[in-house]
């Protein structure tokens, strides 16, 4: 591991569970695509490979984005917030970011009456993608 990657990893303030929130943002449009979590290992993999790798809190294992669906994320830029406890990855998304098939996980707008309006587009059939590859 290079000294610069080590220095960056040491600057990140992981929470009590060893995790840090990671926001994936489209590098070209600025659209927020998803929020997930990373541990030190997944962050190191991401920095070295320049492909997003997260920590799955539900499965308790590394989660390489796109391993099942083919919808990968290539890292273009990494930002760390002022406190060191949150990260933004400007990425190029192949396919949809959301496991439901939408381009972004933030595909529902909350209306004044509390109802939801779908404000994004479906870019793949999730049922087919996960049945075929999962």
pLDDT value at position 3?
A: 82
Cα separations in angstroms, 84 against 10, 27, 58, 62, 88: 10, 21, 24, 22, 11
Which tens digits make up the pLDDT trace of 99-123? Answer: 999 999 999 999 999 999 999 999 9
The β-bridge relationship of strands 108-110 and 87-93 is: unpaired
pTM of the model: 0.90
Q: Which residues pair with 90 in a beta bridge?
A: 25, 77
Which tens digits make up the pLDDT trace of 17-38? Answer: 999 999 999 999 999 999 999 9
pLDDT value at position 31?
A: 98
Which tens digits make up the pLDDT trace of 58-105? Answer: 999 999 999 988 999 999 999 999 999 999 999 999 999 999 999 999
End-to-end CA distance of the chain: 32
Show the tokens assigned to 115. Answer: 């109802």
The rounded distance, in Å, linking the Cα atoms of 30 and 134 is 30
């Amino acid at each position: 591991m290079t000294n610069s990657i080590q220095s960056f990893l040491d600057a990140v303030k992981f929470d009590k569970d060893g995790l840090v929130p990671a926001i994936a943002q489209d590098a070209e449009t600025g659209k927020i695509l998803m929020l997930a979590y990373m541990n030190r290992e997944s962050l190191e993999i991401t920095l070295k490979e320049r492909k997003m790798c997260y920590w799955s809190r539900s499965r308790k294992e590394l989660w390489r984005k796109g391993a099942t669906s083919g919808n990968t994320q290539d890292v273009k830029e990494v930002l760390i917030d002022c406190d060191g406890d949150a990260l933004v990855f400007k990425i190029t998304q192949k396919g949809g970011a959301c496991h439901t098939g939408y381009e972004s996980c933030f595909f529902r707008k909350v209306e004044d009456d509390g109802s939801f309006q779908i404000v994004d587009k479906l870019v793949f059939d999730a049922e087919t993608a996960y049945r075929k590859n999962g």
